[in-house]
Amino acid sequence: MEKFDTLKPQEPVSVTIWGPEDSRLYQSTNTGYSTVEEAVRIALANAGLQISPELCVFEVTNEDTLVSHRYRFNADGNLVLIPSED
């Protein structure tokens, strides 16, 4: 089973940044990423937001497989998976 946190550079990946109260702050789709964290950090840099990353949720979708997960930064600055509510 392939882990979602490893990406193939040719795969299109969508990153949506959600702010407090589920407000969508930014969305982009690009290729060239090797990891989910790389995709999130680049989206965050491109968004130019004036909000702390720890207050955001990052929805990352592999557009080829339609696999999607939500992440957030913890207090130590590490990107962590938010468990699904299924």
Whether the pLDDT of residue 86 is over 70: the answer is no
Q: What is the pLDDT of residues 35-67, one digit of tens each?
A: 999 999 999 999 999 999 999 999 999 999 898
Whether the pLDDT of residue 4 is over 90: the answer is no
DSSP 14: E
Q: Could you give the C-alpha distances from 36 to 27, 48, 81, in angstroms and in order?
A: 15, 19, 10
| Mean pLDDT within 20-43 | 95
Residue with tokens 């592999």: 62
pLDDT score, position 5:
73
pLDDT score, position 78:
93
Q: What is the mean pLDDT of the chain?
A: 91
How many CB atoms sit inside 10 A of residue 7's CB?
22
What is the side-by-side order of every strand in the sheet holding 57-62?
24-30, 13-18, 57-62, 67-73, 79-81
